[in-house]
Chains A and B, each alone.
Chain A
Amino acid sequence: MLIRLTGGKVYDPASGVDGKQQDIYIQNGKIIDKPVGDFQVDKEYDLKGKIVMSGAIDMHTHIGGGKGNIARTLLPEDHRQDPVASNDVCRSGCGHAMPSTFVTGYRYAEMGYTAGFEPALLPINARQAHMEMGDIPILDKGGYVMLGSDDYLLRMLTAKKDQKAINDYVAWTMQSAKAIGVKVVNPGGINAFKFNQRKLDLDEQNSHYGVTPREILRVLATAVKEIGVSHPLHVHGCNLGVPGNMDTTLDTIQGIGGLPMHLTHIQFHSYGTEGDFKFSSGVAKIAEAINKNKNITIDVGQILFGQTVTASGDSMRQHANHKFASPAKWVTMDIECDAGCGVVPFKYKDKNFVNALQWAIGLETFLLVDDPWRIFLTTDHPNGAPFTSYPHLIRLLMDRTFRNDVLSTIHPEAQKMTTLASIEREYTLQEIAIMTRAGAAKLIGLQNRGGLSAGNWADITVYTDDIDRQKMFEKPDYVFKDGEVVVIDGKVVHTKWGTTHIVKPDYDKSIEKDLKAYFDKYLTMKVDNFRMSDDEITEDGRGSLTVHDLKAVA
């Protein structure tokens, strides 16, 4: 079947198209060039006056894995506020802060998103993460495997294993967990918490291993680069949420020595200690460092006001923050000599000085970082806010009047502590398309996604232009996934199953001998039972794997 999308105004930064009226042809799920000669269009969509972008990609969203399911189980009262009934097309479930898997897929699609990436795939919990993502309809998905607090890596560092050995272990773990990237969370800190350390600065040693976060970051960033993974090491830095952590963040940027590095939810890592409340914005300096260091990419982790739940691998910092739990219940777990997690419900309040300033700090970050190809739109779902708040966030970025109206309602002392009111920048549609589409696909290393030129999969979102950008982005006219219409007028009309994006870096098979010995001696599972096989994702007939190329390594 040949489909033509006719006359839409196309924003496709991947091929440099910025608001140009052009037709798009779709065949067999993919975008093709206009056929030559005579041809028959089987289905035509008249998109004159509409805005056309590729499907949006959330490059950091907690949609699969144990901590998210703990968050769900923890909060029945939140689900009860947002029950979702089944209909002819959709399964039932629940929404709000940590939606059920099916509702996650529907609501992302209903906002024009066609892919989401789980940033914290614990090696030992990868199965669960993939099984949960396997129950998310419509979206493509993938994950970044978490390393850096696992005892195996820390033992390697203590034993002064060379970089090649570490590269092999990282590649082995990526294959084992079916990942497309590598993440580190509070490098070594989750492990240190198990030894009763309560904080771990960049140059502070793990009390058992003598290893510092700085060393962990360097070997992992190097490994990711050397094995040719497109997505740079995905870093949730030290000292999340601690006033003054901007210095740690600046030091982390400097310390990586030019290696590619992605700093995630940087809003939570951009705090100074100035002012009466000893809490201030560090964005001016952080943004300056990002603008200057082209090896750095970031996503923001914007907070938005209201109830949510924070679910993080950072058991050390989550434990430290448990006293802010609202409602007052929280969970931490130490996990399998591999990682940890902490789940703390949060209610961000605009009349709370700290929360109000966190809100402003996130927005300052968006507006002061120059290059939209190196910054990504996230709320660190659900930690800063549920992903369903993205249209509101886009309006804050694109509409200065609206932004300043909201600013004037937050805690007055926070208003005094932010430069937000003086920032004139308004994001353009093209910049939004870069952050949420082309840039995200490029950052993750997705081939044939995130663009609208021939050869791309036909993941396409069509909006009605509206100066109220929130309204525009929360209700697309059409969403196509792999060429099939899945959403009309902001409602799911058809569902299908997306693919799972992975990479398969090679490793020296001889490392499996030592891994087997380690698993046999210390862990509670045989190494061959630990590794996920491809058929675990594909055997139910719904899932599929898409293996992406690695970068050529010099």
Chain B
Amino acid sequence: MSEITEVPSPFCGIGTDDLTIKVDGLKISVVKNGCAVNTPAFEQPITDTKARINGKEVELKEAISHAANLLKNTNYPVIGGCATDVNGMRGLLALADRTGAVIDNMNFNNARKNLLTLQDSGWMNTTLAEVKNRCDLLLIVGADLEGFAPRFFEKYLWNEAMFLENTSDRDIIYLGTKPSGNASTSPSGKTAQVFECSTENLPEVVTVLRALVKGQPIQAENVAGISIADLTAIAEKLKAAKYGVVTWAAGALNYSHAELTVQTISEMVKDVNQTTRCSGFPLGGKEGDQTANQVCGWTTGYAARVSFAKGYPEYDPFLFETNELLNNGEADALVWVNAFNTQANPPKTHLPTIVVARSGMTFEKEPDVFIPVGTPAIDHAGHAFRLDNVVAIRLKKLRDSGLPSTAEVLNAIEQVLREESVC
């Protein structure tokens, strides 16, 4: 039995790295600094240790060669999920390059809302340590921050900061969604301001807020139930803050063309920066989302929805969606990769399916090949990107499970295909 301290987590997106974890054989317990997101993710037991072909347990080597065989005879496979560490993504992209596959991160439809904004007009963003040390006003648009990351307030807002005398004085404003708990109440008792509206009304509300920041006259007296006076006060606070931060979770903006809301927020942040400092801070990046986009970014030039079918990477944030390709008859095989989350099952399909996933994933329909892999940060070392994009965390190996890594499995499949193409 051993106890490991300062364990970094790839599960929560914010790169928490102060967990203390007890390892007893294969059993993992988070004994300090756990949360509703990280504790179950770390403690999930290993159930499968053997690969399977059509439900029958086989040696790893056999499963790999069966998977390679399936892929050899495909014209347009889709590699979905794409939830793994940096080396796993490297292997995944090499396999896609060899097979002419589409690769598509499972949360790309959310990331797309941010990426379309980035690729159309850009943004001014910041990272966690800047939020912690500088943020004197946090405006949370349409997100439940503590639901997203239960320890966000405790770790990054309600403790000491380099440039704020009393961090309890920070202004917290919720626009749209109200918080699910009271983590946003400061240690001295200062509560967040909450201006509720329905999520679908956020485009209107955010647009009016930006207009107010720019000093445009607004005739209406309220918008979606929020008074213009309240929105004006928020606009004034943004302009008065030394370092305001505006945060949103693309995944929570569940309506068509939410990228326009992200763009309005990002342009508003730029507007505020004409006179003072302000930054955007998109929430996301859990379970390898950011990692997928980063590694795909440097390997192909594009974020993680790319087709290699023509021999070179092509990016289309709409056309290459896994479910579309499976359902419209274009794809002829599915590879599903998820080393983090046993609940993130592959989409239903009648196509040949290879699943490379965390031990413990269960299936409504047994895939042709299932290869259980180790989880980065538990079964093997590796790297993952935090939500703020710039920071990669070094994942530790906590136990000896004998499970292969995603990279080992995907590289081995690619190797078989390479050797066959040479022969």
| Chain A residues engaging chain B, CB cutoff 8 angstroms | 66, 68-70, 72-76, 79-80, 83-86, 91-94, 98-102, 122, 124-125, 127-128, 131-132, 135, 151, 193-196, 208, 319, 325, 328-338, 343, 521-526, 528-529, 532-533, 536, 539-540
Contacts and interface: CB of A to CB of B under 8 A. Distances in A.
A333 B281 CA distance: 10
Given A85-B312, A100-B301, A329-B121, A525 B391 contact: yes
Contacts of B130: 194, 334-337
Given A529-B17, A536-B394, A333 B299 contact: no
B65 to A, nearest CB: 22
B381 A539 contact: yes
Helix, strand, loop or mixed for chain B's interface? mixed
Interface string B110-129: 00000100111111111111
B9 to A, nearest CB: 11
B389 interface: yes
A84 B118 contact: no
Given A127-B394, A333-B124, A72 B129 contact: no
9 contacts: A66-B390, A73-B118, A100-B298, A194-B243, A208-B163, A331-B124, A524-B15, A524-B128, A526-B6
Given A333-B124, A539-B381, A128 B129 contact: no
B90 interface: yes
Given A334-B127, A521-B160, A522-B162, A76 B302 contact: yes
A93 B97 CA distance: 9
Nearest to B129: A336
Contacts of A536: 383, 394
A530 to B, nearest CB: 9
A338 B378 CA distance: 29
A80 B300 CA distance: 11
Contacts of A83: 310, 312-314
B149 to A, nearest CB: 12
Interface in B295-321: 295, 297-303, 308, 310-315
Nearest to A67: B390
Nearest to A96: B301
Nearest to B386: A524
- Nearest first, the 10 closest Cβ-Cβ pairs linking A and B are A94-B301, A85-B311, A83-B312, A79-B301, A127-B392, A329-B122, A336-B129, A85-B312, A524-B128, A330-B122
Contacts of A86: 97-98, 308, 311-312
A102 B299 contact: yes
Nearest to B134: A194
Interface residues of B, number: 67
Contacts of B118: 73-74, 329, 331
Contacts of A68: 298
Contact of B133 (A196, A337, A540): A337
B129 A524 contact: yes
Contact of B132 (A101, A196, A524): A524
B156 interface: yes
Contacts of B17: 525-526, 529
Given A72-B298, A523-B132, A524-B155, 7 more contacts: A74-B119, A79-B315, A127-B383, A151-B133, A336-B391, A521-B160, A524-B156
Given A79-B315, A333-B127, A528 B293 contact: no
Interface string B156-174: 1000111100000000000
Nearest to A92: B312
Interface centre among B8, B243, B298, B383 (most CB of A within 10 A): B298
